[in-house]
Chains A and B, each alone.
Chain A
Amino acid sequence: MKYETQKVAYAYFVCAMALFAIQVLGGLLAGWIYVSPNFLSELLPFNIIRMIHTNALIVWLLLGFFGAAYFLVPEESEREIYSVKLAYLQLAILVVGTLGAVGSYLVGIHGGREFLEQPLWVKFGILVAALIFLFNISMTVLAGKKTAITNVLLMGLWLLSLLWIFAFINPDNLSLDKMYWWFVVHLWVEATWELVMAAILAFLLLKLTGVDREVVEKWLYVIVATALFSGILGTGHHFYWIGLPGYWQWIGSIFSTFEVIPFFLMMSFAFVMVWKGRRNHPNKAALLWSLGSSTVAFFGAGVWGFLHTLHGVNFYSHGTQITAAHGHLSFYGAYVALNLAIFTYAMPILRQRQPYNQVLNMASFWLMTGGMAFMTFVLTFAGTIQTHMQRVIGDYFMEVQDSLSIFYMMRFGAGIAVVLGALLFVYSQLVIRNREIIEPGPAQPVAGE
Chain B
Amino acid sequence: MAEILTKTRARNIFYAGSLFFVVIFVVLTVNSHRYVVNTSTAGMPLTEEVVLGKHVWERHSCINCHTLHGEGAYFAPEVGNVMTRWGVQDDPEAAFETLQSWMNSQPSGVEGRRQMPNFNLTDEEIRALAEFLRWADQTDTQGWPPNDAG
A interface with B by C-beta (< 8 Å): 33-34, 36-38, 41-42, 45-48, 50-51, 110-114, 117, 148, 151, 172-179, 214, 217-219, 221-222, 224-225, 228-229, 232-233, 235, 238-249, 251, 315-316, 318-321, 323-324, 390-392, 394-398, 401
Q: Which residue of A lies closest to B65 (CB)?
A: A47
How distant is the Cα of A318 from the Cα of B81 in the complex, in angstroms?
14
Q: Please, which residues of chain A bring their CB within 8 A of the CB of B14?
A: 221-222, 224-225, 228
CB pair B64 A148 closer than 8 Å: no
When C-beta atoms are compared, the residue in chain A nearest to B10 turns out to be: A221
Are B21 and A233 in touch, CB under 8 angstroms?
yes
Chain A residue at minimal CB-CB distance from B18: A228
In the complex formed, the residue of A with least CB distance to B59 is A112
Partner pick for A38 among B36, B64, B111, B117, CB 8 A cutoff: B111
Please, could you name 19 A-B residue pairs with CB atoms under 8 Å apart, sorted by A?
A38-B113, A41-B107, A41-B117, A114-B63, A117-B64, A148-B7, A172-B46, A177-B54, A221-B13, A229-B17, A232-B22, A241-B69, A245-B35, A315-B146, A324-B74, A390-B149, A390-B150, A391-B149, A396-B77
Give chain B interface residues in 56-78, CB to chain A under 8 Å: 57-65, 67-78
CB atoms of B147 and A218 under 8 A apart: no
Our pick among B1, B64, B71, B148 for the contact of A242 (Cβ within 8 Å) is B71
A112-B63, A244-B36 known; A41-B115 Cβ under 8 A: yes
Let me know if A173 and B61 touch, CB within 8 A. no
Given A47-B61, A174-B139, A229 contacting B144 (CB threshold 8 A): no
Who on chain B is nearest to A232 by CB?
A: B21
The CA-CA distance from A110 to B71 in the complex, in Å, is: 18
Q: Tell yes or no: B104 within 8 A of A by CB.
A: no
Are B142 and A240 in contact, with the CB atoms below 8 A?
Answer: yes
A174 with B65: CB separation less than 8 A: no
- Which residues from B are CB-within-8-Å of A323? 74
Q: Which residues of A contact B29 (CB under 8 A)?
A: 179
**Beta-carbon nearest neighbor of A230 in chain B:** B21
A174 and B135 within 8 A (CB): yes
State the majority secondary structure of interface residues on A: helix
B139 touches A243 (CB 8 A): yes
Tell me the nearest residue of chain B to A324, going by C-beta: B74
CB distance from B4 to the nearest CB of A (A): 12
B103 within 8 A of A: no
State whether A397 touches B78 (Cβ < 8 A).
yes
**Interface size of B in residues (CB-CB distance below 8 Å):** 72
Residue of A nearest to B12 (CB): A221
Q: A37-B112, A249-B142 are in contact. Are A239 and B32 (CB under 8 A)?
A: yes
Contact assessment for B142 and A225 in the assembled complex, using a CB-CB cutoff below 8 Å: no
A246 B142 Cβ-Cβ under 8 A: yes
Q: Min CB distance, A227 to chain B, in Å?
A: 9
Q: How far is the CB of A192 from chain B (nearest CB, A)?
A: 11
B141 at the interface (CB under 8 A from A): yes
- One of B13, B71, B107, B111 near A178 (C-beta < 8 A): B71
Taking CB atoms, residues of chain B closer than 8 Å to A397 are 76-78, 149-150
Is A218 within 8 A of B144, CB to CB? no
* Given known A-B contacts A221-B7, A390-B149, A179 and B33 have beta carbons under 8 A apart: yes
B144 touches A240 (CB 8 A): yes
Residue of A nearest to B29 (CB): A179
> What separation, in Å, do the CA atoms of A325 and B30 have in the docked complex?
33
Chain A residues within an 8 Å CB radius of B22: 232
Whether, in the assembled complex, B51 has its beta carbon less than 8 Å from a beta carbon of chain A, the answer is: yes
Within B125-139, the residues touching A (CB, 8 Å) are 132, 135-136, 139
- Report the separation of the CA atoms of residues A228 and B135 in the bound assembly, to the nearest whole angstrom: 35
**CB proximity of A151 to chain B, nearest CB, Å:** 8
Q: Mark B1-37, 1 if CB is under 8 A from A, else 0.
A: 1000111001101100110011011001101110111
Which residues does chain B contribute within 8 Å of A174, judged by CB atoms?
41, 54, 68-69, 132, 135-136, 139
With known contacts A42-B117, A50-B73, A225-B10, A243–B41 Cβ distance under 8 A: yes
Instruction: List the 8 closest pairs (A to B, CB-CB), nearest first.
Output: A112-B58, A319-B70, A47-B64, A241-B144, A41-B115, A221-B10, A225-B14, A397-B77
For B46, list chain A residues within 8 Å (CB).
Answer: 172-173
Which residues of A have CB within 8 Å of B140?
243
CB within 8 A of A394: which of B1, B28, B67, B148? B148
How far is A296 from B129 in the complex, measured between Cα atoms in Å? 42
Say whether B114 contacts A398, CB under 8 Å.
yes
Chain A residues near B135 (CB-CB < 8 A): 174
List B contacts of A228 (CB < 8 A): 14, 17-18, 21
Q: Which of B17, B64, B136 contacts A225 (CB 8 A)?
A: B17
A50, A172, A174, A239: most-surrounded residue (chain B CB, <10 A): A174
Q: Which residues of A contact B70 (CB under 8 A)?
A: 241-242, 318-319
**Once bound together, how far apart are the Cα atoms of A316 and B147, in whole Å?**
10
